[in-house]
Amino acid sequence: MAGEPLPALVLASASPRRRDLLEAAGARFEVLVSHADETLEGRPDPAQAAESLARMKALAVAESLPQDRTAWVLGADTVVALGPDGDATLLGKPADEGQARSMLESLSGTRHRVITGVCVVRWPSRQVFLDSECTHVTMRQILPQEVQDYVESGEWQDKAGGYAIQENADAFVECLEGGGFDNVVGLPVNRVFEMLRLAGLAMGQDGS
């Protein structure tokens, strides 16, 4: 509707899964995609890596906003960590079928972590609120033919670790511990709402 005020909440993500989770929670928001460089150097702590990427995304979008706009910019990034801190292999989004196959084979039969970093930037004050949530995922042994079928399905595309628990990969998962299902999908909604309240935006106010 013409003249309708912009939402106070801005989602700095192109992920349809994050949009779906926020919409299901009743949030009103605008989507502005971040084009921040998501390259990580070395072998950072998994939580620090996820939070750093979320912060880069949120700040990149916040700094594109006009100075006279009041907004809360939400950035998020999900990584899959295989192995203990200090020696963890971080799995992001596979670039091709070969990487997707390799990721699934490495995760088969493991108990690994899915960490989503969350950053809220209050604009125009540039206050930064940063946190993360971790879910331990126990995955059964995946048969070679199952790996092949999953890779051929294309479901791995744009998914951290090369699998989507909200789709057919739930058949590979035996249990979740710690953070919730939504965290594995890509956004810990309750934690996000807590962070937004801490940052001064109670959901339901200002059209959000």
Is residue 196 within 8 A of residue 3, CB to CB? The reply is no
Which segments of the chain have a pLDDT < 70? 1-4, 38-43, 204-208
| Active-site residue, 77 included | yes
pLDDT tens sequence across 10-53: 999 989 999 999 999 999 999 999 887 766 665 679 999 999 99
Instruction: Give the pLDDT of residue 85.
Output: 77
What is the distance of C-alpha 123 from the center of its chain?
A: 21
Instruction: Give the pLDDT of residue 3.
Output: 57
Instruction: Give the pLDDT of residue 35.
Output: 82
Model confidence, pTM: 0.90
Question: Which structural domains are found in the chain, ordered by start?
Answer: 9-198 (3.90.950.10)
What letter does residue 9 receive in the DSSP assignment? E
What letter does residue 205 receive in the DSSP assignment? B
- Candidates 20, 77, 85, 158; catalytic one: 77
